[in-house]
Chains A and B, each alone.
Chain A
Amino acid sequence: GDSVTQMEGPVTLSEEAFLTINCTYTATGYPSLFWYVQYPGEGLQLLLKATKADDKGSNKGFEATYRKETTSFHLEKGSVQVSDSAVYFCALYSGGGADGLTFGKGTHLIIQP
């Protein structure tokens, strides 16, 4: 079945550092890929997505590129802020009508001033 693997953390960085959160997946067919973020005390919200190979999703300074050859969708940001502290979830959706999103276990990111 489908699966998503991501580093669990916590990942602790200083403000303005470069961020990479790795995400790799296993899926049948050609899934759509997502990064969701959960800020403290808030619900899950979509950060960015990519629907086909070589697509780049971007939002709020974050980027991720759909790499079919390495089955990866790594999240990057050039300069993190304290307000980026949250839990980040990589997810995929294979479609087919019957299944929901398959999530990774989440990466807890802590940004220190």
Chain B
Amino acid sequence: GAGVSQSPSNKVTEKGKDVELRCDPISGHTALYWYRQSLGQGLEFLIYFQGNSAPDKSGLPSDRFSAERTGGSVSTLTIQRTQQEDSAVYLCASSTGASSAETQYFGPGTRLLVL
């Protein structure tokens, strides 16, 4: 079956513009996660959805970041007024959500470059 897909694969934008990143999880996976991978910070967790609900948004780096999930499937991560420090690879993962031992399956990521 299909894995986690993300779009776009690459995005170059100018500082101050808004960007929207999309994640399509594996069909039937109720849990969805966003991470950011950057040279300076390594892999950091941003936000988690169980169904359409995100219980804790404190992992988002600033109030310029927001995320939503609709229909228990597709999720979008929006970054408003992008800054150069937002340049990173944004990874999405999904799992069945049944327990903490469940494997998270990662998408290929969106590489964001803010000029």
Known A-B contacts A44-B106, A46-B103, A94-B100; the reply to A100 vs B45 at CB < 8 A is yes
* Interface residues contributed by chain B, number (CB under 8 Å): 25
Q: Give residues 73-113 of A contacting B (CB, 8 Å).
A: 89, 91, 93-106
Task: Give the chain B neighbours of A91 by CB distance below 8 A.
Answer: 43
Q: Give residues 29-72 of A contacting B (CB, 8 Å).
A: 31-32, 34, 36, 42-46, 49, 51
Nearest CB of B to A47, in Å: 11
| A14, B105: Cα distance in complex, Å | 31
Nearest CB of A to B80, in Å: 22
Across the interface, B106 reaches (CB within 8 A) one of A43, A99, A106, namely: A43
Known A-B contacts A43-B91, A100-B35; the reply to A93 vs B108 at CB < 8 A is no
By the criterion CB–CB under 8 Å, are B56 and A99 in contact? yes
B109 in contact (CB, < 8 A): yes
| A51, B98: Cα distance in complex, Å | 14
By the criterion CB–CB under 8 Å, are B108 and A43 in contact? yes
B62 in contact (CB, < 8 A): no
Across the interface, A95 reaches (CB within 8 A) one of B55, B100, B103, namely: B100
A31, A46, A93, A95: which has the most chain B beta carbons within 10 Å? A93
Nearest CB of A to B95, in Å: 10
Task: Give the chain B neighbours of A51 by CB distance below 8 A.
Answer: 101
By the criterion CB–CB under 8 Å, are A32 and B43 in contact? no
- Chain B residue nearest to A104 (CB atoms) is B42
| A105, B39: Cα distance in complex, Å | 9
Please list the 4 inter-chain residue pairs (A to B) with the smallest Cβ-Cβ separation, ordered nearest first.
A95-B100, A100-B45, A98-B56, A103-B43
By the criterion CB–CB under 8 Å, are B91 and A97 in contact? no
